[in-house]
Structure 1
Amino acid sequence: MTLLRVDDLRVTFHSGRERVEAVRGVSFQIEAGECLAVVGESGSGKSVTARTLVGLTGPSSEVEAARIEFAGRDLRRLRPRGWREVRGRGIGLVLQDALVSLDPLRTVGAEIAEALRADVKDRRGSVLELLREVGVPEPEQRARQHPHELSGGLRQRALIASAIAAGPSLLVADEPTTALDVTVQAQILALLAERKATGTALLLISHDLAVVAGLADRTAVMRDGVIVESGPTAQVLGDPQHPYTRQLLAAVPGAHPRGTRLSGGQAAQVASAASVPGEPVLELRGVTKRFRLPGGGSRDAVRDVSATLRAGEILGLVGESGSGKSTVARVALGLLAPDGGEVLLEGRPWSALRERDRRPLRRRIGVVFQDPLSSFDPRHPVERIVAEPLGVIGHPRRDRRRRVLRLLDQVGLGAAVLDRRPVELSGGQRQRVAIARALAPGPALLVCDEPVSALDVSIQAQVLDLLTDLRAELGVAMLFISHDLGVVHHLSDRVAVMRAGEIVEDGPVETVFAAPRHPYTRQLLDAVPRLEVVTPGTAR
C-alpha cells in the first residue's frame, strides 16, 4: 500500500528580497514497511523535504506541490490544528541531536508520556514498555532522568521512543546516527530495522552511504534541490548512473585502499609521507586523570595511558563515548593536569609546567574541533580569525596578512574568503579555516577531535585529503580522534583503541584492523556498517 505520495514538491524561502528555491520538483512515494533513503550534501534539500512532511519548514517558506498525500489525506490543505493531529500519530520525526530535541527541563518519562495518545490509561506502564522496546536498560531509572543525564545513545533511543509513542505509520529519521559511536549506531539501526519489519514506513535522511546500503530498500540522491537519481538501493549504489552519485561513492573512505585520494570524484594516489617517522613529538607516560563525582567519590576517566607520537605520524584514537578519548586530548593539550604520569612535548616536560611557563610553548600544538562554528567569534571575518594566533606569538603585524593568505592557500581557500564571516561559509570551508588557524603558529602537533564527523561524505573527503597533504608537506604529527573507524583506517598510520579509560590495543592500523587481538576491538569492527553494494539482479 502506498502510504505517502509526493509529486512535484517545491519549497522556496524568502528573506527580504532574496528568494531561494531549496527544493525543486521533487517526487517520490513510500510504501508501508518500506525504507526510502534520501542522500546528498548539505544544502541539497534533504532536510527541507523531510520537514515539509510534518509542516515544519517555517514561516518564511512557501510550499507548493501537485500532491502531498499521506494515508489518503491531502497535507497541502492542513492548518495548524490538522498538522498537530498528523505529527506523532501519523508521522513521527527523529532528528540528529537528541539533546536539542528533548526538553532539558523535563524527565525522559514525561517527554514520552506527552506523546502518547490521549486514550492511553496506563501512561507510566506504556512509557516503560516503550523504553524497553527501544532497548533502554533499567527503564524505571531512565524514565526519571533528564536528557543531560543520559549518554548519546540512550538519548537517541529515548527520542525514538517519543517519536513512536503514538504509533505513527511513517517515521522520518533525519541523520539519526551521525554523531553516535559505531556500536550505538548499530543498535539504533537494528531498532529502525525492527520497526520497518513490523510495517512502519521509514524516510531516512543520511550522508552515510554504508548505513543506507544496510537499511534502505530504495534510495534517492539529491543535489541542489533536485533528485538526480533514484531506484532500488542495490542499483543506485551498485551501478550508479549519475556522475554526482559516482562522486559520492568515490568519497567513501572504506570503499578505496589506503593511500588514495577521496575527493575529486575518483580515487587517485595521494602524496606519501616519510616512510620513517621522525623524533617523538608527544609522549604520554602512564597518564591517569581522575574526576570527582557529585555524590562523593571519584572516577578514573583515564587510567595508565601511555603512547608516543612521532613527527610526520598520524595516530588514530578510537573508542565509544566515555572511553576517555577527549580527556586524553585535553591532557595532551595541557588543558587538564594529569593526576598521575606525565606528558612530554618534543622531549621536554609539558604537563609538569606551570601555565605561565607552558604558554610560550603552546604554539607547538594546534587543535581542530568537531564544530568550528562554535569556536569562532561570529563577528570576526576569516582574516582576523586566522590571524589571531599570530598576534599571540608576536608575529610582525605588517606581515600577518601575507601569512594568512599563504595559510588559506595551503588549505585550499584563498583571498576570496578573507572578509567573510563564519556563517557565510559552508561546513567544509569553516573546517578549512579552523585548520588554517591551527597551523598559523607553526605547530609540530595537531590534535584533531572528531574534525569530520559532522561533514557530508564529499566534504569529509576533501578535509581528509587536506590533512594527508599537510602531513606530507609540513611533517606535522596528528592525534586524530574519531568514532568513524573507516576514516581512522584511511588516514592513520597507527591506531590506539580505548575502553573505560584504558588503551586495550594499539599498533599499525593495517595490523589492528586485519587481525584485532582484543575482543572489544573485534566488537567495534563488527559493528561498522559496510558499503557492500551488489550489482542489480543479485540477492542482497
Structure 2
Amino acid sequence: MTSALRIEDLTIRTGDRVLVSGFSAAVGRGEPLTLLGESGSGKSLVAQAIMGTLPPGLVASGRILLDGADLLRLDGAARQTLWGRRIGLLPQEPWTALDPTMRAKGQLAEVHRYVHQRRDADSLAAAGLGEVGLADAGGHYPFQMSGGMCQRLALAMAHAADTPLLLVDEPTKGLDGVLRADVVTRLRREIAAGRLLLTITHDIALARALGGTACVMLDGQVVEMGPTARLLDVPAHAYTRALIDADPSAWLPRAPREPGPLVIEATGLAKAFGRRQLFTDLSVQVRQGEIVAVVGPSGSGKTTLGNILVGTERPDRGWVRREPGVAPTRFQKLYQDPPAAFVPHQTMGRAFKHLVQRHGLVQERVEELLARLKLTPGLRKQRPSELSGGELQRFALARVLLLDPVFLFADEATSRLDPVNQMEVAGLLREACEQDGLAILFVTHDTVMAERIADRSITLQ
C-alpha cells in the first residue's frame, strides 16, 4: 500500500536555530500516525508545516508529499485552497477554531454549506450536534460552553469537512472518561473510513487505542518510532520509558494529613443555566493545605462551582464565606484555556515584567520559579500564539503562584501538559500546599489523577 502522506527530512528553522531536525514519517489509509512528546518538542510544528501555518520567521525544508504533491512547493494562496477540502485540522485549543460571534449550530451548518448542498446544511448540523452530545447546545455561543463542549463542537466540524487528511492536536484533553472513549471511537471510525489521521497527543491510552505507528519526539528530533503497541509495551529509549512511567496511574497517592483552618466555605449553593440545573444544595469546604478535587462529566458545572468560590460568578442560591482580612487577589484561578488569560500581542517576558512592577515582586523569585517550570528565556520572547498549550499553562501557573495565593481554583490545570511535565506541576502544587498552606480546588476530568493528587473529591453529575 502506498502512503498518501509522506514526510521526508522535514527541518524547521528560525534563523540559525533548528526547531525540528530531519523528521521523516508516513501516514497511510488505515495506518494512523501518532506523535508523542513533551511540550515544545516540535510535534505541533510538524502539523503546522503540513497545514502551511508556521509562525512568521520559521522556515521549513524537506518534502511533504500529499498524494504525490509537495506541499512545501506551494505558495500561501495555493495552500489555503487545501484547507477544508484536502486537509482538516482539529486544533489544540478548540475555541480558537470557533467564531465567538456565531452559535454552535450555525458554525457547524456553515461547514456543511461549504461541503454539501446548502439546503441540507441545517438538518445535517442538527444531526451532527446530536451525535456529539450537544443537541441542547445549538443556540449557545462558544463562551457559554465548557472546554469539553467546545472540543466536541470542533470535532463535529472536523468530521463534517470530510477531508482526506485530518490533523488532530490533543483531541482528548479536558474530557471526562465517557467523552474520551467517544472521541477514540470517532477517530477510529475516521481511520476505518479511509481518512489519513495524524494525531498529536499526551494521552498514552489514546495512542494505544488508535494503533498504527507512534513517534516519540524530544527537542525537535525523533528518538523512537515504531508500531504503537510494541513501542509502548517495550520502549527502547529512556525518554519513552519516562513518558509511560509518568502516567498518573503510577503516582503515589497523597499521604493523609491533619486539615488546617478553613480558607473558603460554601453552603446551600444552587446554579442553573436556563432550564438546566447544574447543582442544588451543594456545600463545599476547602482548608489550608488541602487539595479538594472536583470530578464529573463535561458540562456538569465543575468550572461554574470554582468560579462561584473565587467570586467571578454568583450562585442562584446559597452563600460563600472566604477567609476574612485576605485581599481578593489572593483568591486565584488557573484557567482551563490559558490563551484566554494572556494579552495576544504581548510577549510573555513583557507580561511578567508588568506583573513584577505592579505587585512589587522580587525578580530573583520570579527567575527561580520560571526556571523550575522550564520556562526558558527563549520562550519568554514568544507571544501566546507562538507557544504550545502546555507552555502557556506553565506560564499561567507561574503567574498565579507568584501572587502568593491562599486559595487556587485550578481548572484542568494539568490537562494540557505531557505526562512528565504533568507530574512535575502536580508535585509543585502539592509542595505549595504542604509548605505554604495553599488551599486548592482541583477540577479534573481524570478520576485517576483525582485519586492520586487530592485529599478528597466532590463528584458532580
Range into which the TM-score falls when normalised by the shorter chain:
0.7 to 0.9
Is the Cα–Cα contact under 8 Å of residues 111 and 161 in structure 2 kept in the other structure?
Answer: no
Question: 3-state DSSP class of the match of 1:458?
Answer: helix
Rounded to whole Å, the distance in 2 between the matches of 1:200 and 1:62 is: 28
Correspondent of 1:305 among 282, 287, 304: 282
Q: Which residue in 2 is equivalent to 1:70?
A: 66
- Whether 2:324 is the aligned partner of 1:329: answer no
Which residue matches 2:24?
A: 27
Output aligned runs, 1:267-278, within 5 Å. 272=255, 275-278=257-260
Q: Does 1:163 align with 2:164?
A: no
TM-score normalised according to structure 2 size:
0.82
Q: Which runs of 5+ in 2 are unaligned?
A: none
Give the structure 1 partner of residue 244 of structure 2: 249
In the TM superposition, 1:224-243 aligns within 5 A as 224-243=219-238
Structure 2 counterpart SS, 1:12: strand
Residues 327, 19 of structure 1: CA spacing in aligned structure 2 closer, same or farther, 3 A cutoff? same
CA deviation profile, 1:129-172 (whole Å, cap 9, x unmatched): 47646753799987787655666555444434443445432211
Q: Return the structure number with greater relative CO, CA threshold 8 A, min gap 6.
A: 2
**Structure 1 residues 482-501: aligned runs within 5 Å:** 482-499=444-461
Deviates more, 1:314-323 or 1:79-88: 79-88
Q: What CA distance in whole angstroms lies between the structure 2 residues aligned with 1:417 and 1:58?
A: 19
Aligned partner of 1:9 in structure 2 is 10
* Greater shift in the superposed pair: 81-90 or 452-461: 81-90
Q: Which residue of 1 aligns with 2:297?
A: 320
| Paired residues for 1:3-402 under 5 Å | 3-13=4-14, 18-57=15-54, 60-65=57-62, 67-80=63-76, 82-105=78-101, 107-116=106-115, 120=116, 122-125=117-120, 128-129=123-124, 132=127, 136=131, 152-153=147-148, 155-165=150-160, 167-259=162-254, 272=255, 275-289=257-271, 293=274, 300-345=277-322, 360=326, 362=328, 365-370=331-336, 374-375=340-341, 378=346, 380=350, 382=352, 385=355, 388=358, 401=362
Does the residue aligned with 2:445 lie in a helix, a strand or coil? coil
In 1: Cα distance, 2:56 partner to 2:261 partner: 58
3-state secondary structure, aligned to 1:222: strand
CA-to-aligned-CA distance 1:348-393 (integer Å, 9 cap, x gap): xxxxxxxxxx66554764444345665467585646525755x6xx
Q: Which has the larger radius of gyration?
A: 1
CA contact (8 A) 1:408 1:433 kept: no
Counterpart CA distance in 1 for 2:35 and 2:132 is: 31
Per-residue Cα deviation, 1:31-78 (whole angstroms, up to 9, x for no partner): 11122101112221111211222333255343221x422223333433
1:173 & 1:367 partners in 2: Cα distance?
28
Task: Kindly state the Cα deviation for residue 27 of structure 1 after the two structures are TM-superposed.
Answer: 0.5
2:434 counterpart (456, 466, 472): 472
Q: SS at the partner of 1:277?
A: coil
8 Å CA contact retained: 1:371, 1:451 = no
Which whole-Å deviations, capped at 9, do the CAs of 1:103-152 have from their partners, x for residues lacking one?
34552244213431xxx5x4332664476467537999877876556665
- How many Å apart are 1:30 and its aligned residue? 1.3
Q: Does the aligned pair in 2 maintain the 1:318–1:496 contact within 8 Å?
A: yes
Which residue of the partner structure matches residue 458 of structure 1? 420
Deviates more, 1:56-65 or 1:210-219: 56-65
Equivalent pair of 1:422/1:430 in contact (CA under 8 Å): no
Structure 2 CA distance for partners of 1:277 and 1:109, relative to 1, 3 Å: closer
Give the partner amino acid of 1:342.
W
User: Structure 1, unaligned stretches of length 5 or more?
Assistant: 260-271, 347-357, 392-399, 500-540
The whole-number CA distance in structure 2 between the counterparts of 1:384 and 1:190 is 46
2:217 alignment partner, SS class:
strand
Secondary structure of 1:199 counterpart: coil
1:231 counterpart SS class: strand
Q: Look up the match of 1:434.
A: 399
Q: Answer yes or no: is the 8 Å Cα contact 1:108–1:145 preserved in 2.
A: no
**Matched letter for residue 159 of structure 1:** A
1:191 positional shift: 1.0
CA RMSD of aligned residues (A): 3.7
Offset of residue 222 of structure 1? 1.1
Change (3 A) 1:145 1:111: farther
Contact persistence 1:367–1:438 (CA under 8 A):
no
Amino acid at match of 1:112: V
- CA deviation after TM superposition for structure 1 residue 304, in Å: 0.8
Q: Relative to structure 1, is the Cα distance of residues 141 and 450 closer, same or farther in structure 2, using a 3 angstrom cutoff?
A: closer
Letter in 2 for 1:3: A
How many Å separate the matches in 2 of 1:139 and 1:306?
A: 29
SS of residue in 2 equivalent to 1:439: coil
In structure 2, the CA distance between the partners of 1:304 and 1:423, relative to structure 1 (3 Å rule), is farther
Q: Distance in 2 between matches of 1:132 and 1:197?
A: 21
CA-CA distance at 1:326 after TM superposition: 2.5
Deviations 1:163-219 (A, max 9, x none): 344543221112223243443333222111111122222100112222212223210
Partner Cα distance (1:453, 1:221) in 2: 19
AA aligned opposite 1:473? Q
Map of 1:262 onto structure 2: none
**Aligned mates of 1:344, 1:255 — CA distance in 2:** 37
